[in-house]
Structure 1
């Protein structure tokens, strides 16, 4: 059977947002309809793949007729450095997130570095964070010469476990860096209560969590500051770009000065121009990057709804497959951004088929997937930071003993997750409802044939 046409998909009854995307030509109807029940041969054993490389929505998405005018106009203007388009994007992003202010920078990593630094977190301080995150979260702490402290995860949600977090607090602890990993909100009620109890700052790393909602609030707007990434793979892609949001005007003014060579801005000194008054960098966003962001932003709401609805539908099917445990959302999560969709895989339920071989079987079916993150805190960059002069000046010899650091920051739940997680990329969730059914059936079929695949 051939690919389901957009028209047929709409007739069959789509998800609301998915229907909008298909009708607009902004999503593919991917599922090739090649399943024929239990007798189907998996692609890894010579059967026909369910999807081809071109079936899934191409990412990043660019609709020439809708997107190019604002970009071409910005290029032709000759005004390429930060100006009105950057201001416009910042205003719109603050509004979308539900924060008073937004500042853009060159990438999400520098958004984190700047936010941490302008909250006066530095040498001698500790920042508690999750071990299940992209390296940038930890590098941002190290860039400010603070000490990363890892609290283990909740194995069902993959988010930092509030109970384990509180046990990590010491007299050096200055902040909690919450990472809404995979685009799914952490348990913010409990985390904010712990922070208030111990007088700690909360910084939200929402770099993967565009428009995710917890308790009817967008993530990034709950703590003192929220940081976002607009890197090419993200749900709002610019190529490279980042943003800091906050309701604290003075804080954002300081961040503005920090991203612009320390030149005074707003409440930081009461003037917009003049002498530089602080040690700083130059990490301003360009006008043409903002133009791309404004073009992408028009689609983000509908895409986010589609990802969330498709992810929940997929989970409803995968939970019934022995050996597959879909990621869980906290009760107060209104919407997940699902930058990545994940489930835990148990080889023993698949006749001992290794995760590596299971992933290979999925890829042969044309499904983009990976095993996700490796264990973070054992990597060499941590040891390299501890060997620097500034760390030796502000931390005790015992704190910088790397073997002792590994022992104190052991996170067994994280280590287990790194061994059994399976990730699907976010553009998969922009497929049709039938695609989600196809994914579930592909996994069932691998399970039925696990003995043959293993051999």
Structure 2
């Protein structure tokens, strides 16, 4: 047996994996075009989602990006914004829910999926995830519904679309709109329907690690004209199309996307389909190797998820069976030249913000007059799958690794095999 790199042996891999972000002269020329134009913000060209083109015939980069991305994702309307957190906040605000209403969210996700609820004076209620996919478990959604539930938020985690057959049916049965947090799911599909187009609205992120990026950015996609108009107003400080510039109709935000971001994203979109197909091929190859290993189980690819973005490739690590702490396994794997992560250290409800209720002035949304106090620590017993995933099970590989070739995938598999074969040396 070869000696582990963490113990002074030779690493399986010394060369780096493909870097991220991917860019070339097209992004460079797009940015220079905006720079030289002097029109650095979208409203140099007009206002709003349905604004007519100016007499010059020019259109903003933001307007063109909104149209292109929204069309590619099966929606009629798109509102670009500063980031994906902003689009979640805008979409929920536009739903006009009542203070203290509940929104069901997963506990295994980025914090914005829950804080966008709190920012709108609503109450996040956590429902556990499916052990095979780490997406919201429809059965647990049913258990979490109360007479105060007003919406369900799904997160298409890692790029695999959640079970939209079951979740949309639950929404129909209980008259609950479904919100799609598609921050990981650019170009992804469920039964060939685009992520972000199946619920009331979809929210996408273009943060630096995402499969499409301009460093930051977000877009809300919807087929609901009224919601789109409300979000458009919220995005630019409560203004309304066709009204005076300094006339404000509602409490909004300054969440505008810049022309620079949109110009980059229009080029990034040109690569998206090819990159998704490539990641899927590489993920299939790696999964075929890992499926043969005792104690390692790739997350299940639901065949109804007809396009998986693999923003994160995840496998389940059976710590009791393998007999090595997950943290130590990850440390050894990284030493072999394969960067791996354990993901979230704990589910969202274990964050100090929830345990200590550091919300609005230290209270629940606008105070407990609107809602009884909630013990978020109690969700641990209701979410055993999320608890286990965070504590010892989930291992993540980033999406840029899957822009490599089959030899890169074989190196990942070989490194995992090597650590497993030599694990007793680290105990």
> With structure 1 as the length reference, what TM-score do the two structures score?
0.86
CA contact (8 A) 2:122 2:365 kept: no
| Counterpart pick for 2:326 among 344, 352, 355 | 355
- Aligned mates of 2:116, 2:5 — CA distance in 1: 42
**Are residues 1:385 and 2:359 paired?**
yes
**Alignment partner, residue 117 of structure 1:** 93
**Are residues 1:446 and 2:423 paired?**
no
CA contact (8 A) 2:123 2:365 kept: no
Partner deviation per Cα, 1:86-118 (whole Å, 9 max, x = no partner): 001111101111111111000000110000110
Deviates more, 1:74-83 or 1:98-107: 74-83
Alignment of 1:78-89 (within 5 A): 78-82=38-42, 83=45, 84-89=60-65
Deviates more, 1:166-175 or 1:222-231: 166-175
- Aligned mates of 1:348, 1:388 — CA distance in 2: 40
Aligned length: 404
**Alignment partner, residue 339 of structure 2:** 368
SS at match of 1:315: helix
SS at match of 1:437: helix
1:393 shift after superposition: 4.6
**Alignment partner, residue 405 of structure 2:** 432
1:434 shift after superposition: 1.4
Deviates more, 1:115-124 or 1:176-185: 115-124
1:394 shift after superposition: 4.3
Distance 1:188 1:272, change over 3 A: farther
Partner deviation per Cα, 1:282-302 (whole Å, 9 max, x = no partner): 110000111111121111111
| Counterpart pick for 2:378 among 407, 422, 427 | 407
| Counterpart pick for 1:68 among 28, 46, 64 | 28
Distance 1:394 1:197, change over 3 A: farther
CA contact (8 A) 1:123 1:394 kept: no
CA contact (8 A) 1:392 1:400 kept: no
| Counterpart pick for 2:119 among 131, 143, 146 | 143
SS at match of 1:384: coil
1:249 shift after superposition: 1.5
SS at match of 2:334: helix
For the aligned residue pairs, the C-alpha RMSD in angstroms reads 1.6
**Alignment partner, residue 295 of structure 1:** 267
Alignment of 1:247-396 (within 5 A): 247-265=223-241, 271=242, 273=244, 275-350=247-322, 352-373=323-344, 374-382=346-354, 383-385=357-359, 387-388=362-363, 390-396=365-371
- Aligned mates of 2:87, 2:406 — CA distance in 1: 36
| Counterpart pick for 1:59 among 20, 24, 32 | 20
1:408 shift after superposition: 5.0
CA contact (8 A) 1:126 1:173 kept: yes
CA contact (8 A) 2:237 2:252 kept: yes
- Aligned mates of 2:425, 2:220 — CA distance in 1: 51
Partner deviation per Cα, 1:258-277 (whole Å, 9 max, x = no partner): 10111113xxxxx3655321
**Alignment partner, residue 51 of structure 2:** none
**Are residues 1:91 and 2:67 paired?**
yes
- Aligned mates of 2:252, 2:150 — CA distance in 1: 22
**Alignment partner, residue 50 of structure 2:** none
Distance 1:348 1:171, change over 3 A: closer
Partner deviation per Cα, 1:59-99 (whole Å, 9 max, x = no partner): 11121x23211110101111111141000111110111111
- Aligned mates of 2:416, 2:98 — CA distance in 1: 47
Alignment of 1:9-24 (within 5 A): none
SS at match of 1:298: helix
1:210 shift after superposition: 0.9
Distance 1:208 1:167, change over 3 A: same
| Counterpart pick for 1:423 among 383, 396, 406 | 396
1:390 shift after superposition: 4.1
> With structure 2 as the length reference, what TM-score do the two structures score?
0.91
Partner deviation per Cα, 1:163-220 (whole Å, 9 max, x = no partner): 1101111111110011111111100010000000000011100001111111111111
| Counterpart pick for 1:186 among 162, 178, 186 | 162
Distance 1:248 1:364, change over 3 A: same
CA contact (8 A) 2:338 2:415 kept: no
**Alignment partner, residue 105 of structure 2:** 129
Distance 1:329 1:390, change over 3 A: same
CA contact (8 A) 1:44 1:453 kept: no
- Aligned mates of 2:315, 2:18 — CA distance in 1: 21
